[in-house]
Structure 1
Amino acid sequence: MIQSPPPVTPAREPVVPTAASGPALDTGAVPGGTEPLGEEGFRAFDRMVQAMVARGTGGLSPAALWLALADWSIHLAAAPGKRTELGLKAVRKAARLQAYALHAMTGAAAEPCITPLPGDDRFSDPAWRAWPYSYMAQSFLLTQQWWHNVTREVPGVSPHHQDVVSFLAKQMLDVFSPSNLPFTNPEVIQRTRETSGANIVQGVQNWIEDQSRKASGAPPVGVEAFQPGRDVAVTPGAVVYRNHLLELIQYSPSTPTVQAEPVLIVPAWIMKYYILDLSPQNSLIRYLVDRGHTVFCISWRNVTAEDRDLSLEDYRIQGLMAALDAVSAIVPGAKVHATGYCLGGTLLAIAAAAMARVQDQRLASVSLFAAQTDFSEPGELQLFIDDS
């Protein structure tokens, strides 16, 4: 349970630099007092339109997707050798599937044409080995493999566009997987028989409730079962410092003595602090406290529309550095072990580099987990990161 006693004022108040005023732009004023928007106004108009488009596309750029598809389709059209190879592969796969179907229809144990990739458990249930569901599964897997070949190794296509098209093709195929359709999934059909259709009725009711909650702005189903201080975030502690961006929590010791150097945990500002304090049995914070560490954790406040101009530098100075100042005031003279999680780790790495530049040596160590400092290889996320 987190209590909120009067905040401790840090020994050194963080200073928030203000942007230097640059020279005024020549907006090209015209007689009569009428002024055009100016370059910045036009850019703002562009950003507004792009933001409106992003709301309807989930943040994806339609232009980027169309460019990738155009790159792939044009180069595939100009590669007769690749198309011939794909045609021959399609014929061979169709022949294998037909031979499999002839054996499976007779009830004989037919050798599968293809096996799912490791980690793909959609067709692992024994019901998928019975006709006609075995045929559906084999047909889907062969089709998926063929489309993978269609989208890869097309001469002239840029690697980024190739990855984007391959990813899109896989996602579209997965939508039509027989495991996703109730009338082609033997597990769903069997469950429907066992419950006399009650599972379908319950599913429709769940969908209606989800849509109703979404329309009314209510939280998802099940959130009520996880209340901070009761079900999650149960490690005892108190808020010892707060400002506009954060609250700093100090957790109560559970051992007779504690380590001389405290631990400061910096989580991401897109999640709650108790992601690291879910339950007594699943809590990094409880683990550290029970081993004699003095633990501090940043709890980021929810931003509003008024905070739209906050920058990463604001989060560094008003956030992490302010929290570090408060820890130094509470445990004076002690170096701090800083731990960053997710984007909090990225922010911590930036702050540590800035501290080294000014010879600020208050950090005893920096530990990062699930945090990126090199964004040149972000995995599948890179598929959706480009200039567009």
Structure 2
Amino acid sequence: MAESTKAATAAMPSLVELQHWTWVLGRAQQMLLEQGLATLGAAETPLPPIPGLTDPETLTRARDFWTDSLTLWQRMLTPGEAPPPVDEPAERARDKRFKDARWREDPLFAWIRQSYFLFSDQLLAQVDALQGVDDKQREQMRFATRGFLDAISPSNFPATNPEVLEKTIETGGENLLKGLQNMLADLAKGQVTHTDQTAFELGRNLATTPGKVIHRTDLYELIQYAPSTPNVLAVPLVIFPPWINRFYILDLTPEKSFIRWAVEQGITVFMVSWRSADASMKDVVWDDYIAAQIDAIETVRRALKVSAVHTIGYCVAGTTLAATLAVLAARGEADTVKSATFFTAQVDFEKAGELLYFVADDQLELLKTLTPDGFLDGRYMAAVFNQLRGRDLIWNYVTNNYLLGKDYAPFDLLHWNGDTTNLPAQWHMRYLVDLYRDNLLSKAGALSALGTPIDLGLVTTPSYIQAGREDHIAPAESVWALMRLFSGERRFVLAGSGHIAGVVNPPSANKYQYWVNPEPVDTLEAFVAGAHETKGSWWPDWVAWLRDQDAAMVPAKGARQPGKGALKAIEDAPGRYVKAR
């Protein structure tokens, strides 16, 4: 350890050299501040201020930036004579990129780290101060700037990361060779690797809840899961997962599986498994997904001879479920759905978060060039979602697996995250334009499906609406719109964590918390102000609510056993479509 540290610092400039360059930089600052900036206001006929260049606020920020830079140099070279450092914000102190103690204790690396934060603050402040841009443009620029700053972090480069320097010397560069191998493999497959790809296999240690595929169309498979209790709720449950991802996010390892847990609660569970798009699906549109949801509902009603089903819609499938309920209501068939549960689903996209940055005209034009065969490669969407959390899902892996050459750790959720699904190009484009950009679903009659105008105000189905407090894909404020647009009974639950962990939170994990507010309120802010917090998973709250809708039980016999009713088993779960690449 001592030898590697000594070697790593052997090439550093001497104190005399550093002091010389400090004098050079200090003199440059003095010349700039005393001559350049001062003369701008001293001219006989001063020029009008140029916004972002010579206006007083910009000049003040420039002066402060240079002053703070000089203080950092002084603190590195002569710590006892420099002003003491101010306390860092808690978020900065917890920044995992700089968890190595040398980022704070070694004068050189402390200077590099603090200089990076100083530059970051200056650049973001400059974006905030820009004139002549609206709030939407400013937020887009802030998003792009944060992405740029994440990319240029000194933790991402071998020469400025103390841990990488030490590892390179310790291994004789073997870490960089192994990291290069990892990087080349990712370039070859066009996707960042997040986990050990050999650690998981569908049907072996993921998606293992026993069941059968009992129905298949060109768009989806319907899986029925085997009961594990002698009696089950009379009303079955049909789950619609997002077709942007594989359905087994709700059937990860057995201890995390929502499906397995729901079966153990005495629920007859059916899961839709969407087909990954190929060229044959170039004409698939939203109507086809709504028709598929209706078909799945009717298939289960006929198979079990029940009048209604419970439903769950996750993310975009929840958005579609809302439209499906509106179509059924307009047809006079609303009673075929006993209840609807929405996992992080949006119907009003005005406040849909950072994904709105990807629906600008130039982004949509780029998207058209990526779909010549009528479908969008799922790796594109994976890259988009990774950019939303670039620090965690991109640069963290650049440092650990490309620079340090670490092995990938097995992680079921990240395995699922990298298991991409192709999307029908025509429908995906309409989804971005009609829903995200133009926000038409929230306007009664602005969209139609299957020849029926969509009016969410017609939906009176009892609804359980779950949102994630830290969801960056479907922000809680955006999900709250379901409370405003639907009629009938509605229960809103705000869960701790985000889009995935906020949903996949089994009671046995004893993690996070959730909030409910029994009082009728009009806004999310009012909901939070009067909400009661409960530690742990919200799943028990949901199943209690489901039983309140209809508590009748029936024996788990006959058609309640997969393949034992009118619909025969086609193959074992998890089926064929989820494995197709």
TM-score interval, smaller chain: 0.7 to 0.9
The question of 1:349 aligning with 2:284 is answered: no
The corresponding residue for 2:276 is 302
| 1:279 Cα offset (Å) | 1.1
Asked whether the equivalents of residues 72 and 115 of structure 2 are also in contact (C-alpha less than 8 Å), the reply is no
CA distance in 1, matches of 2:355, 2:185: 31
The question of 1:196 aligning with 2:172 is answered: yes
What letter corresponds to residue 304 of structure 2 in structure 1?
Answer: V
Asked whether the equivalents of residues 336 and 365 of structure 1 are also in contact (C-alpha less than 8 Å), the reply is yes
The question of 1:323 aligning with 2:264 is answered: no
The question of 1:91 aligning with 2:66 is answered: no
Q: Which shows bigger deviation, 185-194 or 250-259?
A: 185-194
| 1:95 Cα offset (Å) | 1.3
TM-score by length of 1: 0.73
CA distance in 1, matches of 2:73, 2:200: 50
CA distance in 1, matches of 2:204, 2:79: 56
CA distance in 1, matches of 2:52, 2:209: 65
Counterpart secondary structure, 2:209: coil
Asked whether the equivalents of residues 310 and 339 of structure 2 are also in contact (C-alpha less than 8 Å), the reply is yes
The corresponding residue for 1:266 is 240
Asked whether the equivalents of residues 96 and 113 of structure 1 are also in contact (C-alpha less than 8 Å), the reply is no
Cα gap change, 1:247 to 1:297, in 2 (>3 Å): same
The corresponding residue for 1:144 is 120
CA distance in 2, matches of 1:220, 1:117: 27
Cα gap change, 1:221 to 1:81, in 2 (>3 Å): closer
Counterpart secondary structure, 2:272: strand
What letter corresponds to residue 122 of structure 1 in structure 2?
Answer: R
Give the number of equivalent residue pairs. Answer: 308
The corresponding residue for 2:103 is 128
Asked whether the equivalents of residues 265 and 295 of structure 1 are also in contact (C-alpha less than 8 Å), the reply is yes
The question of 1:288 aligning with 2:267 is answered: no
Asked whether the equivalents of residues 338 and 365 of structure 1 are also in contact (C-alpha less than 8 Å), the reply is yes
Cα gap change, 1:159 to 1:125, in 2 (>3 Å): same
The corresponding residue for 2:542 is none
| 1:212 Cα offset (Å) | 3.8
What letter corresponds to residue 96 of structure 1 in structure 2?
Answer: D
Per-residue CA distance 1:61-88 (angstroms, 9 max, x = gap): xxxxxxxxxxxxxxxx952687431222
| 1:117 Cα offset (Å) | 6.4
The equivalent position to 1:175 in structure 2, one of 147, 151, 154, is 151
| 1:155 Cα offset (Å) | 2.9
The question of 1:100 aligning with 2:69 is answered: no
Asked whether the equivalents of residues 52 and 126 of structure 2 are also in contact (C-alpha less than 8 Å), the reply is no
What letter corresponds to residue 382 of structure 1 in structure 2?
Answer: L
Unaligned runs of 5+ in 2: 1-48, 363-581
Per-residue CA distance 1:117-158 (angstroms, 9 max, x = gap): 626332232110111111111111111111111111433212
Asked whether the equivalents of residues 235 and 251 of structure 1 are also in contact (C-alpha less than 8 Å), the reply is yes
| CA RMSD between the two structures | 2.4
The question of 1:277 aligning with 2:251 is answered: yes
Asked whether the equivalents of residues 262 and 334 of structure 1 are also in contact (C-alpha less than 8 Å), the reply is no
CA distance in 2, matches of 1:306, 1:82: 58
Q: Which shows bigger deviation, 178-187 or 100-109?
A: 100-109
Runs of 4+ in 1 over 4 A off after TM superposition: 107-110
Per-residue CA distance 1:138-185 (angstroms, 9 max, x = gap): 111111111111111433212122122222222223222111111101
CA distance in 1, matches of 2:87, 2:62: 14
CA distance in 2, matches of 1:234, 1:80: 58
Asked whether the equivalents of residues 242 and 316 of structure 2 are also in contact (C-alpha less than 8 Å), the reply is yes
TM-score by length of 2: 0.50
What letter corresponds to residue 142 of structure 2 in structure 1?
Answer: S
| 1:308 Cα offset (Å) | 0.9
The corresponding residue for 2:332 is 359
The aligned runs of 1:46-125 (5 Å cut-off) are: 79=51, 83-106=55-78, 108=80, 111-112=84-85, 115=88, 118=91, 120-125=95-100
| 1:307 Cα offset (Å) | 1.2
| 1:220 Cα offset (Å) | 9.0
Unaligned runs of 5+ in 1: 1-76
Asked whether the equivalents of residues 266 and 341 of structure 1 are also in contact (C-alpha less than 8 Å), the reply is yes
The corresponding residue for 2:357 is 383
| 1:275 Cα offset (Å) | 1.5
CA distance in 2, matches of 1:88, 1:78: 14
Cα gap change, 1:235 to 1:305, in 2 (>3 Å): same
What letter corresponds to residue 204 of structure 1 in structure 2?
Answer: L
CA distance in 2, matches of 1:99, 1:252: 68
The question of 1:374 aligning with 2:348 is answered: yes
The corresponding residue for 2:560 is none
CA distance in 2, matches of 1:344, 1:82: 51
CA distance in 2, matches of 1:111, 1:87: 25
| 1:306 Cα offset (Å) | 1.9
| 1:380 Cα offset (Å) | 1.0
Cα gap change, 1:80 to 1:141, in 2 (>3 Å): closer
What letter corresponds to residue 319 of structure 2 in structure 1?
Answer: T
